[in-house]
Amino acid sequence: MWAVCDSATGYTIYFEIYEGKGSEQAKDSQEDMGIDHPYVESEAEAEARLRQGGDVVIKMLNGGQLREKGQIIVADNFFSSISLAKALVGTKTAFIGTARPHLKDWPKSVTSVKGDKPGTTRWKAMETEGGILTAFYWMDKRPVHLISTVDSPLETVTISRKRKGFPSGEEAIKKPKIVHR
């Protein structure tokens, strides 16, 4: 099942039962429910459809009638891609998601390198038709790869992490805001 939910209330806005890749029944069920999608996809949205995750995000936004409503979409690495972020950046729909750095559209300069110490960051801002998106890497205990059309990679927040060996039992860590969100 795919679902679009409101993060503040937990309310399900729209959902769809996954019936298999390219299922005709899935296409017919939307028509039967009277859902009309007059929106014509852009070239960048067509590129995002190369992966199932991007296809699902666009389909769910259309089904939930959330296009161009100023929403922030938060997704995990199954759904995230640079091409999806490009598709959404110009449509008043912001995107933040974890990423898979091995995908073909991920910038090679924004990946982990053996020996990276905690706190290491790399990022690349890319200008698109609708705005700027950022591919981001941060080394915590493990590498974190993100895509964002919302936060700047230069903004940081300080958090406390419980840690043995520190006088207070806690260590102050500066985290990029993009990771903390």
In the numeric block, which tokens belong to residue 174? 């500066």
Does residue 166 lie within any of the structural domains?
no
- Strand, helix or coil at 89? helix
Does residue 28 lie within any of the structural domains?
yes
Question: Which H or E run contains 18?
Answer: none
Does residue 127 lie within any of the structural domains?
yes
Does residue 135 lie within any of the structural domains?
yes
Question: Which H or E run contains 161?
Answer: strand 156-162
Range of the domain at 49: 2-154
Which residue's entry shows tokens 């700047």?
Answer: 152
Min mean pLDDT across 2-11, 26-35, 59-68, 115-124 is at 26-35
Does residue 173 lie within any of the structural domains?
no
Does residue 179 lie within any of the structural domains?
no
pLDDT tens digit sequence for 134-158:
899 988 888 999 999 888 878 888 8
Question: Using CA atoms, how far apart are residues 62 and 48, in angstroms rounded to an integer?
Answer: 14
Average pLDDT over residues 41-66: 68
Q: Number of folded domains in the chain?
A: 1
Q: How far does CA 125 lie from the centroid of its chain?
A: 15
pLDDT tens digit sequence for 84-102:
888 888 788 888 999 988 8
pLDDT exceeds cutoff 50 at 48: no
pLDDT exceeds cutoff 50 at 33: no
Does residue 101 lie within any of the structural domains?
yes
- The pLDDT value recorded for residue 83 is 85
- The pLDDT value recorded for residue 153 is 79
- The pLDDT value recorded for residue 34 is 43
CB 99 within 8 A of CB 77: yes
Question: Using CA atoms, how far apart are residues 62 and 39, in angstroms rounded to an integer?
Answer: 8
Does residue 139 lie within any of the structural domains?
yes
Question: Using CA atoms, how far apart are residues 173 and 140, in angstroms rounded to an integer?
Answer: 10
- Strand, helix or coil at 52? helix
Q: How confident is the model at residue 45 (pLDDT cuts 50, 70, 90)?
A: low
**Percentage, residues of the chain above pLDDT 70:** 82
pLDDT exceeds cutoff 50 at 32: no
- The pLDDT value recorded for residue 151 is 80
pTM: 0.73
